Structure 1
Amino acid sequence: MAFNMNHLELQPQLGSQLSKGIPPRKKSSKGYLAIAALALILGSGYAMTALFDATSSDHVPASTKSRLATEFAQAKPFALTPVPAGEVDIALDSMKLSADQRQALKSSLTFRLGDADATSSLAWIELWDFAAQDGDIVHISSAGYEVDYPILNVPNKLAIPVDATLSVTIRGVHDGGGGITLGLRSGAAGISMPVIEPGQTLIVPVTF
């Protein structure tokens, strides 16, 4: 799954009405409705533009960018929360798979016994934009699974498969301005990724 005018017309026969001494009809309320509709359309367009224009883009100081890059380079493998066996179907629903892809992945899952119940080789992750919500998009790939994911200020949860490489690849796809600002969390563990540029790839070491 390789993870966006009405116009006003003159009233007909207005001239002939005047020549016959018949007072012209008042402007139709339809005309006012058309004007109101046009104003609403223009206002909505302005609102959408304001939501994603340059004033809403990320403004991360250079010192913060440097700190995030250093912390990421020195970080230990990111601890993932395994998907319990009882939540596998819910996890697969979050992955936006076709029916064939879903069945193939479900058949390939491995399970192991933990301290409580069996857990799968799927892990829960949450993604969000830690700065301005400006249309940033990232590409997530892990164990053959790939998805383009728009990130919002509200964390979104999805499942990813994990294989023996114990790594997740994140690539920048679209920058709404100022760099792609991605937060990543699994269970209680969370990090702010380095600010990513479109086309830039980061490999995140993970562990269960």
Structure 2
Amino acid sequence: MGNNKAIPRRNAPVTAEARGRPEGALSLFGKALLPTALLAGMVAAGSFALSQGWAKASDDVSPAQAQMRLEAFHSLDSVMASIVASTDIERALQGMQLSPAAMQSLRADLRPETTAAPESVAASRTTPAAQPQAQAQRLQLVWIRLWDTDAEDGDVVRIDSAGYSRTVRLTKHGDTFAVPVSSDGMVRVTGIKDGDGGGITVGLASGSSQAVFPIMSEGQVLGLRVRVE
């Protein structure tokens, strides 16, 4: 049984503990954000390519990218909205393409509604003392930007929120305007025209928050909730 040869030892794999990091490369939170982060990176890369003159004649989103957009959108619970400051309300109203009558009506709906608290109503039946008032905002204005996330090929969408409707031809730079939102914060985007083919590629942003919509077809309606705090 002679000729015992020494068996070379392989280096033991470096474990997560040995590296001083917790097990698992990604936390559950990180995994949940991964599709959205990857999608944002692809959209940014596409925007850079277009800005360098590599523009395509029409949208060219691969099936894998389309699936990632769909999953990222459905993983969104809501988007934080950027509220129009009180000092900017008149400027925002002027930019909403409203008729004079519609502007006056919306301006009235933006004013706080004063109501008596239930307990003060009961107290008023026995005493004429001043009643505490509760103010509830009927509608709030938020800034919205709609842009084309892929080729600027003539895609057109319509946004609807709290009775306000606006049709937008999408560009790479995007259009920013004010939109009223009600207490449920729901806005809806409808695909109106698929420019040169490949589907309607639209993104919606408010402040630093943004959402990239799935590839839309003409007539398709998708809802997105915006939070106002």
- Could you state the TM-score of these two structures normalised by the residue count of structure 2? 0.62
Q: Where does the alignment leave 5 or more consecutive residues of structure 1 unmatched?
A: 1-54, 113-117
Q: Tell me if structure 2 keeps the 8 A contact 1:125–1:157.
A: yes
* SS across alignment from 2:84: strand
1:169 and 2:188 correspond = yes
Instruction: Give the whole-Å Cα distance in 2 for the aligned partners of 1:147 and 1:187.
Output: 19
Instruction: Give the whole-Å Cα distance in 1 for the aligned partners of 2:207 and 2:100.
Output: 28
Correspondent of 1:138 among 157, 164, 175:
157
Report the residue type matching 2:192 in the other structure: V
Q: Tell me if structure 2 keeps the 8 A contact 1:111–1:121.
A: no
Report the residue type matching 1:105 in the other structure: L
1:99 and 2:118 correspond = no
Aligned residue in 1 for 2:141: 122
Instruction: Give the whole-Å Cα distance in 2 for the aligned partners of 1:150 and 1:94.
Output: 16
Instruction: Give the whole-Å Cα distance in 2 for the aligned partners of 1:151 and 1:134.
Output: 8
The structural deviation recorded for 1:110 is 3.8
* SS across alignment from 1:125: strand
Instruction: Give the whole-Å Cα distance in 2 for the aligned partners of 1:111 and 1:207.
Output: 18
Report the residue type matching 1:108 in the other structure: D
Query: Cα RMSD (Å) of the superposition?
Result: 1.7
The structural deviation recorded for 1:170 is 0.5
Instruction: Give the whole-Å Cα distance in 1 for the aligned partners of 2:148 and 2:164.
Output: 22
Query: Which portions of structure 1, spanning 4 or more consecutive aligned residues, are displaced by more than 3 angstroms?
Result: none
Q: Tell me if structure 2 keeps the 8 A contact 1:94–1:157.
A: no
The structural deviation recorded for 1:103 is 0.8
The structural deviation recorded for 1:111 is 5.0
The structural deviation recorded for 1:85 is 0.7
Matches within 5 A, 1:11-50: none
Instruction: Give the whole-Å Cα distance in 1 for the aligned partners of 2:208 and 2:214.
Output: 20
Correspondent of 1:147 among 166, 174, 177:
166
Aligned residue in 2 for 1:80: 81
Instruction: Give the whole-Å Cα distance in 2 for the aligned partners of 1:123 and 1:98.
Output: 19
* SS across alignment from 2:87: helix
Q: CA offsets per residue over residues 133-172 of structure 1, 9 Å max, x none?
A: 1111101000011111111111210110000221001010
Q: Tell me if structure 2 keeps the 8 A contact 1:133–1:153.
A: yes
Report the residue type matching 1:102 in the other structure: M
Aligned residue in 1 for 2:226: 206
Q: Aligned residue pairs: how many?
A: 148
Instruction: Give the whole-Å Cα distance in 2 for the aligned partners of 1:110 and 1:129.
Output: 34
1:196 and 2:197 correspond = no
Q: Where does the alignment leave 5 or more consecutive residues of structure 2 unmatched?
A: 1-55, 114-136
Q: CA offsets per residue over residues 5-42 of structure 1, 9 Å max, x none?
A: xxxxxxxxxxxxxxxxxxxxxxxxxxxxxxxxxxxxxx
The structural deviation recorded for 1:193 is 1.1
